[in-house]
Structure 1
Amino acid sequence: MKALTTKRTMSEHNFQWFTLLLVGIVLTFVGVWTLASPTESYLNLSVAFGFSILAAGVLEMVFSLMFRKRVLTWKWNLAFGGIDLFVGSYLALYPSVTMLLIPYVIGFWMLVRSFLAIGSAIDMRSQKGLRWRLILYTGIITTLLSLTVLSHPIIGRVGIISYIGLSFVAFGIYHIYLSLIVKNWKRNT
């Protein structure tokens, strides 16, 4: 019976870190795609952003529920995953309205997510042996990028889309790095 329990725990652990890795890959891909094609129509970008944020929200909610016994801030992760689910659904379902609002919606979403990254870094700092500085720097950089998008929404599609693309890449790196930390948790415990 003990071997079955250990196997199930390892399987859940693999799913948990892999979920974070998948979120990171999706966000990084969307960021690179955005940077590579900044002149694409706002309609295509709003739909793509909507579905990627929606997927990230679902995966983050699954992660937070599965990891609730290990992560002190799992309720915050669940709440932010719910926000992602709502924002992503809105962007995907109403792309014509979103074309006008995308700088504000994405800028606010990036700001909220950057606060989560900073909070995660502060939480990780209290645990010995975890490398929290990269996550903190990612959160700070993304905060600055999101404030730039929110304060200058009229500077042009290319500028805003570039900031959004960089923020998605930063969030992707944050999730990939966090997945590697989570992957190593089982080895160290």
Structure 2
Amino acid sequence: MKAQFLKTIRNSVKHWYIPLIVGLLFAGLGIYALMSPVESFLALAFMFSLSFIFSGIGEITFAMANKDEMDNWGWNLAFGIMTFLIGILLMSKPEISLVTLSFYIGFLMLFRSMMGISYALELKQYGVSDWTKLMIVSVLGVVFSFILIWNPVLAGMTIIFWIGLTLIVVGAFSIYLSIKLKKLNAMPGKISDELKSRYDAIKKEMHDEMNKT
């Protein structure tokens, strides 16, 4: 049986706007990075730390609120914890180097992009026709993350550019996902009680069949 992205037959997604806020925060941070000279690196690192702390708290809240509605809520929880911890780490080490910063951000965004690929595949299973857009954005995020992690020499003096571009792409993923969550959020209200009851009966029948000795 295919895993479902959301159990929207019965339940609505809670706080669908949190990924939107996180996405806008990442995208805004990426634009800020592109517009900031290397000389303002300390200010940039401080902005990153604050943004990651708030984003991590938001992702953790979203994951815990939807653990009964989303099959893969653990992805969001793990990403939220990682984002929060990296934010704390950056806050505690303001003297961190540019290359080290690119490694932390690259690793974090790589995890986020892999999560995006997983979500894209599950949106496909769920019947969302334009799942390929999320897949393309997530794959781009993986590519940019690899540049930051495994080839900082290639990034060279343009490392801030790659950081900014990666954050923008990952932010676009969160914004797109939130739009889809909002649409799926309205689905339970459009489904009749009879269909919901039939859905529950089928689930129970399948569960009983799978647990027969």
Give TM-score, length-normalised by structure 1: 0.85
> For the residues of structure 2 that align with 1:115 and 1:37, how far apart are their CA atoms?
28
Match of residue 64 from structure 2:
65
Residues 54 and 88 in structure 1, CA contact (< 8 A), matched pair in contact too? yes
**How many angstroms does 1:70 deviate by?**
1.9
**How many angstroms does 1:174 deviate by?**
1.0
Residues 99 and 152 in structure 2, CA contact (< 8 A), matched pair in contact too? no
Aligned residues: 178
Residues 107 and 146 in structure 1, CA contact (< 8 A), matched pair in contact too? yes
> For the residues of structure 1 that align with 2:139 and 2:169, how far apart are their CA atoms?
10
Match of residue 42 from structure 2:
43
Match of residue 120 from structure 2:
121
**How many angstroms does 1:40 deviate by?**
4.1
Match of residue 6 from structure 1:
none
Match of residue 3 from structure 1:
none
**How many angstroms does 1:130 deviate by?**
5.5
> For the residues of structure 1 that align with 2:82 and 2:100, how far apart are their CA atoms?
17
**How many angstroms does 1:97 deviate by?**
2.7
Name the amino acid aligned to 1:169. Answer: I
Identity %: 28
1:131-178 deviation digits (Å, cap 9, x = unpaired) = 321211111001100111123323566411111111111111111111
Residues 63 and 76 in structure 2, CA contact (< 8 A), matched pair in contact too? yes
1:88-108 deviation digits (Å, cap 9, x = unpaired) = 110122110354511211121
Give TM-score, length-normalised by structure 2: 0.76
Larger Rg: 2
Report the structure, 1 or 2, having the larger helix content.
Answer: 1
> Counterparts of 1:16-27 in structure 2 under 5 Å?
16-27=15-26
> For the residues of structure 2 that align with 1:69 and 1:29, how far apart are their CA atoms?
31
Tell me, what secondary structure is at the counterpart of 1:41? helix
Name the amino acid aligned to 2:114. Answer: F
Residues 27 and 168 in structure 1, CA contact (< 8 A), matched pair in contact too? yes
Match of residue 139 from structure 2:
140
> Counterparts of 1:73-112 in structure 2 under 5 Å?
73-99=72-98, 101-112=100-111
Residues 27 and 167 in structure 2, CA contact (< 8 A), matched pair in contact too? yes
Give unmatched runs, 5+ long, in structure 2.
1-10, 189-213
> For the residues of structure 1 that align with 2:61 and 2:112, how far apart are their CA atoms?
17
Residues 56 and 81 in structure 1, CA contact (< 8 A), matched pair in contact too? yes
Residues 48 and 92 in structure 1, CA contact (< 8 A), matched pair in contact too? no
Match of residue 183 from structure 1:
182
> For the residues of structure 1 that align with 2:54 and 2:120, how far apart are their CA atoms?
23
Match of residue 5 from structure 1:
none
CA pair 103-129 structure 1, distance change in 2 beyond 3 A: closer
> For the residues of structure 1 that align with 2:29 and 2:119, how far apart are their CA atoms?
23
Name the amino acid aligned to 2:19. Answer: L
> For the residues of structure 1 that align with 2:81 and 2:133, how far apart are their CA atoms?
25
Segments of 4+ in structure 1 off by > 4 A? 155-158
CA pair 40-18 structure 1, distance change in 2 beyond 3 A: farther
Name the amino acid aligned to 1:23. Answer: V
> For the residues of structure 2 that align with 1:46 and 1:75, how far apart are their CA atoms?
28
Residues 38 and 157 in structure 1, CA contact (< 8 A), matched pair in contact too? no
